[in-house]
Amino acid sequence: MANPMIAMRSVTKTYASREVLHQINLRVESGAIYGLLGVNGAGKTTAFKLLAGLLYPTSGEIVFNGQPITMRRRAFLKDMGIMIETPVFYEHLSALANLEIHLEYMGCSCSGIRSALAAVGLGDVDGQPVSQFSLGMKQRLAIARAISHTPKLLILDEPLNGLDPLGIRQMRDLFLSLARERNMTLLISSHILSEVEQIADRVGVLADGSITQEISMPEIRAACPNGLEDYFFKIMLGGNT
């Protein structure tokens, strides 16, 4: 079997005496879209920070593109686009300037900035200061920042927050395009389960720090004709699928 783009192998994360994640095993194939689901406090953001190399596991191993992520962490970041928690920008600077600073810090080319801004619908306002942006526009800018260097892997924590229905649909189409046309691998968390259902190839359900289910979308549809939302609630409430 070919190496996955990213994988967690028996990963546990403990803060002081509190175990946040327990023996997590997760595998995301190259070019796939993987949805990580769970209620607030389940450990999704911690898992994403571990996968991005922003935290280190207490035990276990994280492998990115065939290599342990704890080695040469900064080098790996060039192949990742990361959007975790509330995005922060230099509010007095333009969208364009914010992305230039980010890519220069990362040591990446700035040549893809304008196309990334256009892809998220900000091409006409790239010279405006971010302080004038709405919440939804800042969310779009965070997505543009994540894709601006054409990474191999996108890690997106609640990327649809603050977007209106049109924005949600546009980002859904963008995510599908990135995976299908550019072979990017996407790892996404979202509470909007109907959107995850439309784009994900596979989902994992995280509850109380453990992956309780990992299943493909075709398997979910076969087990639960009403779709992902119904499946998720049955899992959370301890029902049978």
Model confidence pLDDT, tens digit, residues 110-143: 999 999 999 999 999 999 999 999 999 999 999 9
Q: What is the pLDDT of residues 144-164, one digit of tens each?
A: 999 999 999 999 999 999 999
DSSP secondary structure string for all residues of 14-50 = EETTEEEEEEEEEEE-TT-EEEEE--TTSSHHHHHHH
Q: What percent of the chain has pLDDT over 90?
A: 80
> Under CATH, what is the fold of the domain 1-78+195-241?
Rossmann fold (3.40.50)
What torsion do the CA atoms of 138, 141, 145, 148 make, to the nearest 10 degrees? 180
Distance CA 137, CA 157 (A): 16
Query: Does the pLDDT at position 82 exceed 70?
Result: yes
Binning pLDDT at 50, 70 and 90, where does residue 1 land? low
Residue pointed to by tokens 């065939």: 66
3-state per-residue secondary structure call for 60-86: EEEEECCEECCCCHHHHHCCEEEECCC
Q: What is the pLDDT of residues 181-214, one digit of tens each?
A: 999 999 999 999 999 999 999 999 999 899 988 9
What are the residue ranges spanned by the domains of the chain? Answer: 1-78+195-241
